[in-house]
Amino acid sequence: MTVSDSDHDLNAEEDNTIHEARLWRDDGWTARVIKNEDDDGWAVEMIKDGEAEPALTGPWTMGRDKKNPKPLDPNAFRTLIKTASEVLRRHEQQRHAMLHKDVTVRANGEDVTVTLDIVPDEDDPYADLKALDMFGAVLAHVRVPAGFKFSKTSAQAWVDNDFRKPE
């Protein structure tokens, strides 16, 4: 019987699973119980596979001896995954809200949605300014500086100026 490359991949994935009192790795997440640097207690950090920084760090319960941390268990791990996933989702929503803005203005008696999407490129950040008709079709699209002052007034001025690139 031969072992295929995909079987090796499955075995490697299974080997990555850890269920220890202070370290759990499963389902794309790692939970690690660590000494809390701020006091005498313990903390737990949740790290999503492939990420360098924890998505969540929080206090962890002391064990019965009031000296060592309570061991991780399946229920706690599932709860930690749910909480850390929610934190990541909120961060993503906040980032999207910071990088995407839209307003509706009027042009020739029709509603026009004007959007600004900031592209936070490290070397050359910029923003895409777009005008969309009521069906979502693009009426105009220009590239503007990432610091473009976007407001209902600036959007209306752009539309009123026949979509010429703002200064």
Please give the Cα distance from 35 to 40 (Å, whole number). Answer: 8
In this predicted model, what pLDDT tens digit does every residue of 89-120 receive, in sequence order? 999 999 888 899 999 999 999 999 999 999 98
Please give the Cα distance from 78 to 66 (Å, whole number). Answer: 24
pLDDT confidence band for 6 (50 / 70 / 90): very low
pTM as predicted: 0.64
Please give the Cα distance from 33 to 51 (Å, whole number). Answer: 17
Residue with tokens 């910029």: 126
Contact criterion met (CB below 8 Å) for 130 and 141: yes
124 token code pair: 């050359």
User: Above pLDDT 90, what percent of the chain?
Assistant: 75
User: Above pLDDT 70, what percent of the chain?
Assistant: 91
Please give the Cα distance from 82 to 65 (Å, whole number). Answer: 28
- Tell whether the model's pLDDT for residue 1 goes beyond 70: no
Please give the Cα distance from 143 to 88 (Å, whole number). Answer: 30
The predicted pLDDT at position 151 comes to 96
In this predicted model, what pLDDT tens digit does every residue of 12-61 receive, in sequence order? 445 689 999 999 999 999 999 999 877 878 999 999 999 999 999 999 99
DSSP category for residue 71 = P
